[in-house]
Chain A
């Protein structure tokens, strides 16, 4: 038996950098350093663990949709231990929204061939957390998302989803789309050997025509939503800061009373 896992990973602007918008109100990806979204490292980690715990022949492909630099994200995932990578890159993709991204991912996943898709819980720039559900809808396969624990056995994926009201045990037959949270287990650091090996692993590049997608279906013009304005939030006005000299708690109580919280 073989198990083909596709891990979707996103290249995102560094959250600790000065993230901002470009003139066309898309996320500026040129002026800020990018990296593999930390939340997608958890997806790569779970793919590696499923592979390590499996008697099957497991092949892990990492897939990204993004600009030239997004190759860095693929390299990182390969150095963690994934087997090969696919980079979907096309100038017409600039400004694509979540619905469009899910189209490109679904087409690429189908073309690559898959039994299991593993995504992160959300991208650290957009933070919508909707792409995995959208990909499942497009592929017409079960969505087993937001798992803090996941296992695969005999063509079945099982996992635990910790929701607001309850913690649920989920189960679905493969093929399926899974997403994992940052509670699923610490992601490994690439080893020196892993980094060297990654340099020799294959990275395929596909553009929209490889996926039979028309330019109008994606990009800023193909988006089903439009950002009309983006304004930097005014800095909060400097507050009062006191040093505790024995009365700090009482002073704070006085402030809260003044604001009618007590």
Chain B
């Protein structure tokens, strides 16, 4: 059976959820072979094996942390040459897309970015994409080289599928470009204790209607009652009420949770671009004409300062 390379996104050996989703998709096409790089690479093997990786190729070197993107491209290229896979899957983070693109160019292969689904096809994997702020769905195929496909988080379920997950060392020679862009400092993002925005099953967002940084406590309280991540519109971020890392939309994060709750958000096209594929959409907005109501499964026309605290209280009561 053909092998499919899966690039592992991990922090010091802790595998991020989108990588496990890639393993689910990879198994539709062939046998997943994972590639884990940098500090803690070998520690990823156990969880990758549980989710279907037949092999885990690892390599650790300081270059992965000290220089931007290119060392990882060098390593993936070495893996492609060693394995001759049927496809390479990478998660659609900003860095993931850059790594995938350079790998594709080097290996003379076509690239498809931001797939939301993937199926095996007679002429190679067929990727589904959601374009123009999710107003269109397209299917595409790579017609040259080894298909390189980046997949958005939450595009597939995480499924246990025990496999060998044998760890093997990958031999990597760094290119002349590898040390071109030096990382001179790194400030890890502080954890809020809430789920990761792109990975969360429920996202509760606030927009201009929240009207002040201090009022985001209301949004956070609702999020915590549901175990949700907190999102924000660009208007709220630009006003300095919430960090940019939480922005949902075209120039922020793209989310596709089971439930999205928009509070005081009008629903501009650029915001919709980042949340329109959510399974269930709920909105609270005092303007009955707000475009967000065109998207909702359930909407409340009302003042969020009344509706949201009542909702939170009701949820907490029901939870007991």
Using a CB–CB distance below 8 Å, which chain A residues touch chain B?
Answer: 15-16, 19-21, 25, 39, 97-99, 102, 121-122, 124-125, 127-130, 133-134, 136-138, 140-146, 148, 158, 161-173, 176, 181-183, 223-233, 236, 239-244, 246-253, 255-257, 259, 261-262
B245 within 8 A of A: yes
A158 to B184, CA, bound (A): 9
Known interface pairs A137-B105, A167-B189, A241-B300; 17 further A-B residue pairs with C-beta atoms within 8 A, sorted by A's residue number:
A99-B110, A121-B251, A129-B97, A130-B97, A133-B102, A142-B180, A143-B180, A145-B68, A166-B187, A166-B189, A168-B68, A181-B251, A183-B244, A223-B110, A224-B144, A233-B130, A236-B294
Known: A164-B94, A170-B68, A224-B142. A241 touches B296 (CB 8 A): yes
B310 within 8 A of A: yes
**Chain B residue nearest in CB terms to A246:** B306
A255 to B187, CA, bound (A): 41
Find out whether the CB atom of B188 lies under 8 angstroms from the CB atom of A252.
no
Partner of B298, one of A124, A142, A239: A239
Please indicate the chain B residues that have their CB under 8 angstroms from the CB of A223 in the complex.
110, 143
B81 within 8 A of A: no
Partner of B184, one of A171, A176, A249: A171
Q: How far is the CB of B74 from chain A (nearest CB, A)?
A: 12
Point out which of A130, A144, A172, A225 has the most chain B C-beta atoms below 10 A from its C-beta: A225
A181 to B238, CA, bound (A): 13
Known: A15-B270, A133-B101. A226 touches B251 (CB 8 A): no
Partner of B104, one of A16, A99, A121, A252: A99
B47 within 8 A of A: no
A251 to B284, CA, bound (A): 12
A182 to B270, CA, bound (A): 13
Please indicate the chain A residues that have their CB under 8 angstroms from the CB of B280 in the complex.
259, 261
**Chain B residue nearest in CB terms to A42:** B251
B162 within 8 A of A: no
Please indicate the chain A residues that have their CB under 8 angstroms from the CB of B226 in the complex.
261-262
Find out whether the CB atom of B319 lies under 8 angstroms from the CB atom of A262.
yes
Known: A171-B181, A244-B307. A134 touches B105 (CB 8 A): yes
Number of contacting residues on B, CB 8 A? 92
Q: Could you give 9 example pairs across A and B, Cβ below 8 Å?
A: A98-B101, A142-B180, A144-B68, A146-B94, A168-B186, A224-B142, A230-B138, A233-B135, A239-B293
Point out which of B94, B95, B137, B176 has the most chain A C-beta atoms below 10 A from its C-beta: B94
Partner of B181, one of A16, A143, A226, A252: A143
Please indicate the chain B residues that have their CB under 8 angstroms from the CB of A164 in the complex.
93-95, 189, 198, 245
Partner of A224, one of B135, B143, B258, B309: B143
A19 to B132, CA, bound (A): 7
B211 within 8 A of A: no
Tell me what chain A mostly uses at the interface: helix, strand, loop, or mixed.
Answer: mixed
Find out whether the CB atom of B69 lies under 8 angstroms from the CB atom of A133.
yes
**Chain B residue nearest in CB terms to A97:** B110
Find out whether the CB atom of B282 lies under 8 angstroms from the CB atom of A255.
yes
Please indicate the chain A residues that have their CB under 8 angstroms from the CB of B176 in the complex.
140
A122 to B282, CA, bound (A): 29
A20 to B312, CA, bound (A): 40
Find out whether the CB atom of A144 lies under 8 angstroms from the CB atom of B181.
yes
Find out whether the CB atom of A171 lies under 8 angstroms from the CB atom of B182.
yes
Known: A233-B135, A240-B299. A165 touches B188 (CB 8 A): yes
Please indicate the chain A residues that have their CB under 8 angstroms from the CB of B102 in the complex.
133-134, 136-137
B98 within 8 A of A: yes
Find out whether the CB atom of A240 lies under 8 angstroms from the CB atom of B301.
no
Find out whether the CB atom of A162 lies under 8 angstroms from the CB atom of B311.
no
A148 to B94, CA, bound (A): 14
Q: Which 10 A-B residue pairs are closest in the complex by CB-CB distance?
A: A244-B302, A249-B310, A224-B110, A142-B180, A169-B185, A130-B101, A249-B311, A253-B314, A224-B144, A133-B98
